[in-house]
Amino acid sequence: MTHTVDKGIIYAEKGIPETPRWFSDSRLTFQMDENSITQVDYRNPLQSRGNHTIFLQRLWDGFRYFLERKQVVYRLDHNQSKIWPFGLESQCEFEGSLLKHQMFAVADSIVIQLITPADLPADLKFELEFYKDYGLVPVDSQDPRFGSGGAVRTWQEWEFDAANSILLTSMEDHFKEREPEHEEEDIRTLNLERNEEQTAPLHIGISADFPLSYVKRPLNPKYILMSDEMLLPNTCYSFVITFDTNKQNLLVKMKDLTSNLKPLIANQFKRYQSVADQSPVLISPYKELNDFISLVPMYHESCKVTDTPGAIKAKNANYWVWGWDGMTSNYASLYWGDQSFIQEMLQFYENTADPELGIGHSFGHNMSLNSISELPSQSMYISLLQQYYTITGDLQEVKDRYPFAKRIFKLIKTREVQGTGFCESTSLFPDYPLYMKETGHDISGLNNTIFYCAARSMEYLADLAGDLEMMLEAKTTFTNIEKNFLPLFFDKEKKFIVSSIDSETLQQRNSFNSNAVKWENSYCGELMEAISADCLSFFEENIVCKAGLREIPTWSEAYDADANQLHCWWPVTGEYYMRLINGNNRGDLIKQWVGWVSYWTKKLTCPEGISCYIDTDEPDIDRWNTAKGMWHAYSMRGFYQAAIHGVVGVDMEAGGLTFYPYAGEEMTLQGLHFRNKLVDIEMKGSGPYIQSIIIDGQTLLATNKLPVDLMGGEKHVSISVNRVAENQFPISIQTAYGMDLLNYRYEDGIISADVQGSGTSRLKLIAAGRKPIVTKNGISVEVDYDSTTGKATVELELSVGQLDVLEIRGGNLNGAKNKSNHLE
């Protein structure tokens, strides 16, 4: 079935593409096929255990709606459909008239509408029906989707309240004691004891904004709600299905819904249309990647829990709110303009944190904590706070959140091992640490690359907060990690880092995991730079397959040990690979990566995990990770920012925009959000070097990093980056994370600029021919030069509010542009 995508909205001339598919908003999620609503999930705030699926179509149909005339029912086909994350709009021709019908998740309710035309045929009614056995009693011990989840469910009979024109029922989950599963394999100890109610009631009502008649079929109980009068032309008719934990509240809610549907639905459309309108647009030769960039912000919006600012479901179906699932890879959210939500998220994780143990890992439906995140992984919060500041410049939010970020950092440091900078804990991921040879005495590569990124961010934030003591502690921490990481983690035979080392002996484990490096910010590149070529070779030889990136090499004992997770690819962890292939100018591998994302975009889904068990470039659609219409939030963000950073070749780090050229296709990214501006970026030419950057008519030479003062002025900024195959300059700036460039000039092989920033910034230079000479405020600084690669590194200590003068002198390069100013 063909479809098109425009600004995050899916269009189909006939039918619903990729069914059955999921629709979601906030606590409510439903699945539908061409005929009926096949499943309804609702996250009851009182439910701490049990199953969140309320209705499930099995033998008997789920919710179906029809036209009816004199006991004959007529199906409404789906034509000219417009598909949103929270529902769809369709048209249907009936006896020469064009009717509109639509279905939405709005206000944690399902709304089904029929809009009649002026030439409506006579004697028609509108009906909704479903079977009694649609209500789920979850007892399937072999399918965790529909198991009891530690509760016994009982249903009350459906009753029609004629006075209120509403069909009512209720169900109750009675919590029971249950045996912990796989207890012998659980070496994590941060689950919390919870004070919970013993039952979770849920009341359900079905009504309409028009008078209803009610019929119950007795043999195979089926309930039919029908308009009591014939349909009128030019009228909108609405069925509403809603939920509440209290019957009286439900009746009030239903009355309010049926009286105010028009503004409620209008506000829902306004909310999503605003996301569509402000989201960046990618124009590239890769159609599906263009579509993906427009779809992701919309489906990410559907994962937000609207009654709790800052909370986001891990996926639009099946999953609730988690810790690292929400915090990681949020450059993406900031790039598409969701700064206010990230501000709310920072507040949410602080407000819900355990006063002693820190940030939650999993949350109950009422936002109580079920478990606590592994300590080093909690440091994602610190990196997120710096990312938020990078994109917004909101210093007040940094000051407000800084005490909590500092508390998390101090908490993690209590687990430091032997002065190494590393912190002990079981790896955050995968979920089966014993298969990865972990014992509970572990230094995890994944956890500690996350923590390294956070320690760099902590130094930066501490400077902004004026906390010199914490600046020094953070620097000592990341310096120790840098000193010890490769000697302790790098396996010289495999030429990759091990998944973990023993925290008591500091010995490596013979266990390898492609997720052992988690790229939370660009500082991670400084930790891994020396082995990037080796690591890329390891990926190519052991990890890359037709379906994507295996988490575990096939030769490992851990591969497929759980017959599920350990043979998959987890896109949220894939940015390190993208940085490797971009940094090593592997346009062929970037194109392969685009193909992986394109495959799932065609399926209109974004998986949590992608099975690499079968050697195929067309992985199976399954019933959990890759179900149609399911969009996993951290996978969306992981793919999204990897595309921006590696396929387009730009990121926004502390210090502004940096470009990453490679031999790839020309493309344009329009409307990237940065510091209250919209940025259009055109990547022209092809190659791993930059000939020039043109910003609003001004030409900039010998730098991949954009001076921040050139971003002033207009609300909309246009940038052209001209990529070439050969180096054009004797000296040029490659990266300078955490450093602002101002008053930049390049002339006769000399770069001069004013610089400012916070904490440690390492200036990375492309210096062909000889070791460059670098001065700061007229005083020579040490330069680490690698004559083999022609790269130089200069470490600078910067302080907030202090402007330093930098001069960089390069050598000679045949054919170089030595006599060009930055303004031409």
- Going by C-alpha positions, the residue among 452, 531, 524, 548 that lies closest to residue 497 is 531
Domains along the chain with CATH numbers: 4-177+198-274 (2.70.98), 279-648 (1.50.10.10), 653-809 (no CATH)
What one-character DSSP code corresponds to residue 821? -
Per-residue b/e over 28-51, b at no fewer than 16 CB within 10 Å? bbbbbeeebbbbbbbbbbbbbbbb
CA atoms of 732 and 689, how far apart (whole Å):
10
- Going by C-alpha positions, the residue among 590, 447, 629 that lies closest to residue 16 is 629
Q: Do 560 and 566 touch, CB atoms closer than 8 A?
A: yes
Q: Do 31 and 21 touch, CB atoms closer than 8 A?
A: yes
Structure tokens that stand for 171 in this block: 């169900």
Q: Do 67 and 73 touch, CB atoms closer than 8 A?
A: yes
Q: Do 22 and 604 touch, CB atoms closer than 8 A?
A: no
Amino acid, res. 100: K
pLDDT at position 504: 98
What one-character DSSP code corresponds to residue 353? S
CA atoms of 389 and 339, how far apart (whole Å):
10
Q: Do 435 and 426 touch, CB atoms closer than 8 A?
A: no
Ordered alpha helix ranges (H), 357-433: 380-392, 395-413
pLDDT at position 38: 98
How many helices and strands in the chain, by DSSP H and E?
A: 15, 45
pLDDT at position 712: 81
pLDDT at position 743: 98
- Going by C-alpha positions, the residue among 317, 429, 319, 335 that lies closest to residue 374 is 429
Q: Do 336 and 391 touch, CB atoms closer than 8 A?
A: no
Strand partners, 100: 91, 115
Q: Do 294 and 347 touch, CB atoms closer than 8 A?
A: no
Residue 577 half-sphere exposure, CB side, CA atoms within 13 Å?
A: 28
76: alpha, beta or left, given left = phi > 0 and alpha = psi -120 to 50?
Answer: beta
Sign, CA torsion 525/529/531/533 = positive
CA atoms of 292 and 279, how far apart (whole Å):
12
- Going by C-alpha positions, the residue among 62, 79, 66, 65 that lies closest to residue 20 is 62
Task: Scan for tokens 């484990």, then name that residue.
Answer: 509
- Going by C-alpha positions, the residue among 332, 277, 381 that lies closest to residue 652 is 332
* Distances 369 to 58, 351, 360, 401, 441 between C-alpha atoms, Å: 34, 11, 6, 20, 25
Beta-sheet strands, E only, within 568-661: 568-569, 610-611, 650-653, 656-659
Task: Scan for tokens 């991921």, then name that residue.
Answer: 429
- Secondary structure of 52-91 as H, E, C letters: CEEEECCCCCCEEEEEEECCEEECCCCEEEEEECCEEEEE
Amino acid, res. 618: E
Structure tokens that stand for 563 in this block: 């017959």
Cβ neighbours, 10 Å, residue 677: 14
Tens-place pLDDT, residues 609-662 = 999 999 999 999 999 888 889 999 999 999 999 999 999 999 998 888 999 999
Structure tokens that stand for 419 in this block: 């002065």
Amino acid, res. 466: G
Tell me whether the omega of the peptide bond preceding residue 144 falls within 30 degrees of 0, making it cis: no
Cβ neighbours, 10 Å, residue 516: 25
Residue 499 CB contacts under 8 Å (≥ 6 apart), including other chains: 427, 436, 437, 438, 444, 445, 446, 509, 511, 512, 513, 516
What one-character DSSP code corresponds to residue 645? I
In the chain, which stretches have pLDDT less than 70?
Answer: 1, 178-191, 193-197, 812-824
Helix (H, G, I), strand (E, B) or coil at 268: helix
What one-character DSSP code corresponds to residue 132? G
**0.75 cut: is pTM over it?**
yes
CA atoms of 608 and 624, how far apart (whole Å):
9
Structure tokens that stand for 797 in this block: 């200590």
Ordered alpha helix ranges (H), 129-285: 247-259, 261-278
- Going by C-alpha positions, the residue among 94, 133, 111, 283 that lies closest to residue 221 is 133
456: alpha, beta or left, given left = phi > 0 and alpha = psi -120 to 50?
Answer: alpha
Helix (H, G, I), strand (E, B) or coil at 539: helix
pLDDT at position 653: 87
100: alpha, beta or left, given left = phi > 0 and alpha = psi -120 to 50?
Answer: beta
Q: Read out DSSP for 462-482?
A: HHHHT-HHHHHHHHHHHHHHH
Q: Read out DSSP for 288-352?
A: HHHHHHHHHHHHHHTTB-TTSTT-BBSBSSS--BBSHHHHTTTHHHHHTT-HHHHHHHHHHHHHT
